[in-house]
Copies of this chain bind each other. A is one copy, B any other.
Amino acid sequence: MVGKQNKIAIVGAGTIGLSFAALHLTKDPACAVTIFDTRPDLGEYVQQNLPGYLTDADHESCMKRLWFASKLGEAVKDAAIVQEQGPEKLDFKTAIWPQIEQYAPEDALLWSSTSGIPASQQSRDMKDRSRLVVVHPYNPPHIMPLLEVVPSPETSQAVVDQTLEYWRTLERTPVVLKKECTGFVANRLAFALFREACSLVAQGVVNVKDLDEIVQSSMGPRWTVAGPFKSYHAGGGEGGLTSFMEKIGGTVQGCWEASDEDVRSGNISVGEQWQAEVCRQTDEAYGVVDTADRDTKTRKVLDAVRGT
């Protein structure tokens, strides 16, 4: 599909929309991208902000393959891919897909970047519910390789296959979930660790900055190279994960029980008392984060692990 002068329609010009536009334009040198949004200053806004997602080397080639549309029908009419990142509201999603279905070519891939509204709900009013699939990025998508591909029970295998093929050609890492679930997988995992982090800071075991330092100098690099199962499998030696659980299982269970107890006693739910202190420490530690520096370092880390 790459190399066929794909037309890609980006619905919604927020930060995810611009980041995806940059990703397509940079990685698929034959594509043309049309951005649709109802904001009146759309062209000016994108011209001003998109360059922040592009390297200097890519700038000229990308900006001349970029188009704008203030009408949805116009944006999607020749599209091979329609990628939606509008408001995270079910009403918005269920209303827009039948419109897109009406104007887009019959074989266009239809992707939602939603972080939480499953395709089975979004597609409710579509004529052909088999066409829609969630493609959930890890922010920002022009840097981070992961794309969670989450079909609904109605999504066709052909749509999933073409979606995977496109992203693999762009050297990204699409991963298919076998069923829809609350929050999908990446956020579920990250938020589980984040809750434990909040709990340990709330208890005064460690401060925010030291906790980040711990993660950056241990799990971060380890899990860049080998995910948790592979890591603990290696930790078990020749007996693998089974052996790891036999040897270390008591410690693991002890930690899980301590976590549950601390989350309960510290009332670690969103909006409760612990949150103000955690936010205060984070503000004090970091002020405003320089995401350009973060993204440059992240690219280097990704190049290092890929051996490029």
Contact = CB atoms under 8 A, between A and B. Distances in A.
Given A185-B214, A250-B270, A283 B240 contact: yes
B213 A258 contact: no
Contacts of A269: 253, 256
* Copies of this chain in the oligomer: 2
B225 A298 contact: yes
Contacts of A242: 279, 283
Contact of A181 (B200, B234, B291): B200
B301 A218 contact: no
A207 B178 contact: yes
A249 B224 contact: no
Given A173-B213, A279-B242, A115 B191 contact: no
Contacts of A300: 304-305, 307
B298 A144 contact: no
A187 B289 contact: no
A254 B183 contact: yes
A233 interface: yes
A289 B234 CA distance: 5
A206 B187 CA distance: 14
A278 interface: yes
Contact of A226 (B190, B234, B251, B294): B294
Contact of A193 (B193, B226, B288): B193
A220 B224 contact: yes
B192 A240 contact: no
Interface string A42-74: 000000000000000000000000000000000
A29 interface: no
Given A181-B203, A188-B259, A191-B255, 20 more contacts: A146-B214, A178-B205, A178-B206, A182-B255, A186-B214, A187-B251, A192-B193, A201-B229, A211-B229, A212-B228, A215-B223, A216-B305, A224-B224, A225-B294, A226-B289, A229-B281, A233-B282, A241-B278, A241-B279, A297-B307
22 contacts: A138-B219, A144-B218, A179-B205, A182-B255, A183-B255, A185-B214, A187-B251, A189-B211, A189-B215, A191-B256, A193-B193, A211-B227, A211-B229, A220-B227, A225-B294, A225-B297, A234-B286, A238-B288, A241-B278, A241-B282, A256-B269, A256-B270
